[in-house]
Copies of this chain bind each other. A is one copy, B any other.
Amino acid sequence: MEFTISQIAAILQGEIDGNGQEKVNTIGKIQDAQKGAITFLSNPKYENYIYTSEASAVIVKKDFVPTKSVKPILIKVDDPYSSFTRLLEEYDKIASYSKVGIEEPAYIATNATVGEKIYRGAFSYIGSNVKIGNNVKVYPQAYIGDHVTIGDNCILYSGAKIYANTVIGNNCIIHSGVIVGSDGFGFAPQQDGTYKKIPQLGNVIIRDNVEIGANTVIDCATLGSTIIDAGVKLDNLIQIAHNVEIGTNTVIASQTGISGSTKIGKNCIIAGQVGLVGHIEIADRVTLAAKTGLAKSVKKEGSVKFGYPAMDHKEYLKCHAIFRNLPELRERVNDLEKKTLNLPAK
C-alpha cells in the first residue's frame, strides 16, 4: 500500500513541512526507518536520529524546531506518539481487512451458512451445520468442525483448528495452530492398570473480543462448556483444560497451564509458565507472577502470588532472600554451636 504524505497528514490533522506529494509505503522506528517509511519523534532523547534519518517522513510535535538540517518531510501534530499509534491502527485495519473472497479449492458443507464479506482461503474447511457471521476471515488450511458457530469480524489464521460444537463470539482473533475443543484429559483407572476414556461431550464457548495466541490449546468440557469470557487475551502455547472458566478481561501469558474445572475471575493477570491445579477458584484482579505453581484457591481480590507452592508475593521474596544466603545462616548456626558447646552446665 502506498499513501501520499498529504493523505496521511489529513488523517492525522497535521501540518506538512515539505512536499505533500511524496509517497510512503511502510512504517518504521526512527533508528532504522529507510526511504519510503514514515516514523515519529516523541521522546527528545531520540532527537539526534532525525538529523541522519533516511525516512521519507517523520511525525513531530507542533513546536519542534530542528537545530540542524533535516532530510525527511515533517508532519507536525499535537501528540506525535498517539498520532503514530493512530496510524498503526489504520494501517492494520487496511491490511487485515483487505482479504475478501474465496480461493479455490476451499471446502464448505452444503448446509453451512456464511455472512457477507467473508474470506475463505485455499484448503480451508467449513463443516456441516456451521454458521458464520459477516466480515470473517478463514485463512488457508483453517478447520471449522461441524455445528460450530462464529460471530462477526473474526479472524482464524492459517491452520487454526476448531472442533465440532464450539461457539465463538464477535471480533475474535484466533492465531495459527490454535486448537479449540479437543478432548479433555479424562480417563478412569481400571483394575488391570489400564485407563478407560471418559467421553468428552461438552464444548468450548468463546465470547466477544477474545484473542488467542499461536499453538494455544483449549479443551472441550466433559459435559457443559469450557468458557473463555469476553475480552480475554491468551498468549501462545497455553493449555486450558476441560471445564475451565476464565473471567472477563483476564490476560494470560505464554506457556501457562490451567488444569480441569478451575475458575479464574475477571481482570486477572497471569504471567508466563504458571501452573494451576484443577478445581480451584481465583478471585477477580489476582496477579500470578511468572512460573508460579498454584495449588489452592485465591479468595482475596487483588492478591499477588508467587513461587511454588505459591505464597504472597512479598513474603516469597523475603524467604527467597534468606534462601540466597543459607550458607551464611548455616555458618552462623555452626558458630553458635561452637560457642555454646563447652558452656557451663545448667
- Which of B89, B107, B219, B272 has a CB less than 8 Å from the CB of A123? B107
Is A72 interfacial (CB-CB < 8 Å)? no
B343 close to A324 (CB less than 8 A): no
Question: Which listed residue, B143, B233, B239, touches A195 by the CB 8 Å rule?
Answer: B233
Residues of B close to A327: CB separation below 8 A = 318-319, 322
Known contacts A159-B143, A291-B308: A195-B319 contact under CB 8 Å = no
B-facing residues in A268-310 (Cβ within 8 Å): 272-273, 275, 277, 290-291, 293, 295, 308-309
Asked whether A135 is an interface residue with its Cβ less than 8 Å from the other chain, the reply is no
Contacting chain B: which of A5-13, A48-56, A59-67, A207-215? A207-215
User: Are A28 and B199 in contact, with the CB atoms below 8 A?
Assistant: no
**Which residues of the partner chain B approach A326 to less than 8 Å between Cβ atoms?**
318-319, 322-323
**Which of these, B88, B179, B241, contacts A198 with CB under 8 Å?**
B88
User: Oligomeric state, in number of copies?
Assistant: 3
Is chain A's interface secondary structure helix, strand, loop, or mixed overall?
A: loop
Using a Cβ–Cβ cut-off of 8 Å, how many residues does chain A contribute to the interface with B?
A: 103
Contact B177 A236 (CB under 8 A): no
A255 contacts across to B, CB distance below 8 A:
239, 255, 257, 275
Interface centre among A211, A275, A340 (most CB of B within 10 A): A275
Question: Contact check: which of B28, B182, B315 meets A175 at CB < 8 Å?
Answer: B182
Q: Are the CB atoms of B161 and A107 closer together than 8 Å? A: no
A158: chain B residues within 8 A (beta carbon) = 125, 143, 145, 161
A22 contacts B by Cβ under 8 Å: no
Contact between A290 and B275, CB atoms less than 8 A apart:
yes
The distance in angstroms between the C-alpha atoms of A177 and B323, with both chains bound, is 41
The answer to whether A333 has its CB under 8 Å from any CB of chain B is yes
Whether, in the assembled complex, A251 has its beta carbon less than 8 Å from a beta carbon of chain B, the answer is yes
Bound complex: CA of A157 vs CA of B121, how far in Å? 20
Q: Which residues of B have CB within 8 Å of A27? A: 201, 223
* Chain B residues closer than 8 Å to A318, beta-carbon distance: 326-327
A144 shortest CB reach to chain B, Å: 9
Query: Which residues of chain B come closer than 8 Å to A68, judged between CB atoms?
Result: none
A225-246 residues with Cβ-Cβ distance < 8 A to B are 231, 233, 235-237, 239, 241
A69 at the binding interface (Cβ < 8 Å):
no
Give every chain B residue within 8 A of A257 (Cβ-Cβ).
Answer: 237, 254-255, 272-273
Does A112 sit at the interface, judged by CB under 8 A?
no
Are A199's CB and B91's CB within 8 A?
A: yes
Q: Is A92 an interface residue (CB 8 A)?
A: yes
B-chain residues with CB within 8 Å of residue A91 when the two chains form the complex: 199, 201
Residues of B within 8 A of A211 (CB): 183, 187, 197
User: Does B214 lie within 8 Å of A217, measured CB to CB?
Assistant: yes
Question: Known interface pairs A182-B157, A257-B272. Does A223 touch B29 (Cβ–Cβ under 8 Å)?
Answer: yes
How far does the alpha carbon of A211 sit from the alpha carbon of B193 in the complex, in Å?
16
Q: How far is the CB of A204 from chain B (nearest CB, A)?
A: 12
State which of B89, B198, B339 has its C-beta within 8 Å of the C-beta of A343.
Answer: B339
Mark each residue of chain A from 145 to 174: 1 if its CB lies under 8 Å from any CB of chain B, else 0.
100000000000111010100000000010
- Establish whether residues A233 and B187, one from each chain, have CB atoms under 8 Å apart when the complex forms: yes
Across the A-B interface, give the 8 residue pairs with the lowest CB-CB distance, nearest first.
A92-B199, A182-B214, A179-B214, A161-B176, A107-B122, A322-B326, A143-B158, A239-B254
